[in-house]
Amino acid sequence: MKSEVTPHRIRDSALMFVLLLAVSFAFYGISLDNSFWHPEDFLVLNSAQSFANDASGIFGKDSMSRFQPLPLALFVMEYRAFGLEPAGWYATNLVLHAINAWLVFWLVSAFGIDRRVGILAALLFAMGVGSYGKAVLFIAGAENLLTTTLYLLILNLYIRNDLYGAGRIVSVRYLLVLLLFLAVSFARPTAFALLLGLIAYKVFFRSERGKRRRVFDAQLLILVVGAVAFWVARKSWGMTELALESAGRNPWDFTVNFLNNMLDYLVHMFFPMHMSKLAEASNPVVQFFYAATPVLRFLLGWGVISYGLFGFVFGNRPIRFFLAWTVISVLPYCVVQFPEDWLNIRYLYQVSIGFVFVLASGTVYSTDLLHRTRWQRWLPLIVPLFFILMSAYITLKLDTKYERDARSPEARTQLERLREQA
């Protein structure tokens, strides 16, 4: 396959980024007047404040209660730029989110798919479909946003080097992959989910690579060895990791809880309701759906399983890859015991990449199938419009709640303490 980099494509890509940046700020701009509210926000601010004058300590074993120097470096830069003014912190989140939306567009384009699918998928991602904005609406969420940026850059560069660069190890794209992979290792304890995503790509796109049909070729093995080596090094050096309780005390309990968690997280992309005071105090329509949650989850669960199996068996290669990515990227969040981190939709940020692609593909190709009809061809657009409206509603409700949380005595006390220390 040949890659065509032309002035026309560069201009279109730049315009697409401007559009996604505008959509991100239009959709989440209501957060710019919020203050700090989340407990993790104050952990971030305390850590950034302590390293503002001397950032060398960010490589300590337990900086910010765990070893994650790359996100901490971002937080230190934000603190130096914005201090304790929250608007700049939230604006940084929105810029990172817009970059990620553009990288979703670029990833879809790498497979040579209809550009309408890439545009719609990127717009849906920018408007929080599947993740519903929770990762964007608190400043500590920049950690997840930054890691997603690195993941998407690696996926894009690796796939483009494989499809358009003959999979050469000695190339600018692959050198960037290695550097970004090292950066990811300083942002997450492991990058094994990313490796599984690359393996899924290798499996599903063997024919596109011509004679290079091996899955575990040299360029992938280098990354696998690097990930294992970095994981061993973290353990040997005693790096502090985030303490989480396992999903089960024995193999059987762990397996059952793991599978339940996975299915529930996937269902939450369609129906992001769980035990919530926000839903209980909402309008009658929301309360009705909240009361029907057990039935709706059961039906959606079977729908997710059925569609997933159907997509893997009969779908094209991009559909299979993005379905696999959806499952793979949710794996790290399925190992936690209920209820400590139970079904937190902020964890769906990376997972939603596959969801918006599948949704965009179904919409675009359904409208094409109905192209001979007059108004019926536009009916498939109702589905993404429904998810956009649901995302907007959830964002408004979350923003109202977070503004209230920021006015709480606890949040004000912590902010005053930070100002005194500044």
Measured torsion, CA atoms of residues 121, 16, 199, 111, in degrees rounded to the nearest 10: 90
- Dihedral of CA 161/166/170/172: which sign? negative
In whole angstroms, give the CA distance from residue 404 to residue 159: 44
Cβ 117 vs Cβ 108: under 8 Å: yes
Measure the CA–CA gap between 301 and 304, rounded to whole angstroms. Answer: 5
Digits of tens for pLDDT over the chain (422 positions)? Answer: 555 567 778 888 999 999 999 999 999 999 999 999 999 999 999 989 988 887 777 776 555 556 578 888 999 999 999 999 999 999 999 999 999 999 999 999 999 888 999 999 999 999 999 999 889 999 999 999 999 999 999 999 999 998 888 888 999 999 999 999 988 887 765 578 899 999 999 998 887 776 767 888 888 999 989 888 887 877 777 665 555 556 667 787 878 888 888 888 888 788 776 655 655 566 676 666 666 666 777 777 777 788 778 877 777 889 999 999 998 988 887 877 655 444 567 788 999 999 999 999 999 999 999 888 888 889 999 999 999 999 999 899 899 999 999 999 999 999 999 998 87
The string of DSSP letters for 252-296 reads: HHHHHHHHHHHHHHHHHHH----S-HHHHTS-HHHHHHHHTHHHH
Looking at residue 345, its pLDDT comes to 72
What's the pLDDT score for residue 82? 96
Residue 242 burial by CB count (10 A; 0-12/13-18/19+): exposed, middle or buried?
Answer: exposed
User: Using CA atoms, how far apart are residues 311 and 315, in angstroms rounded to an integer?
Assistant: 4
The residues near 401 (Cβ < 8 Å, ≥ 6 apart) are 278
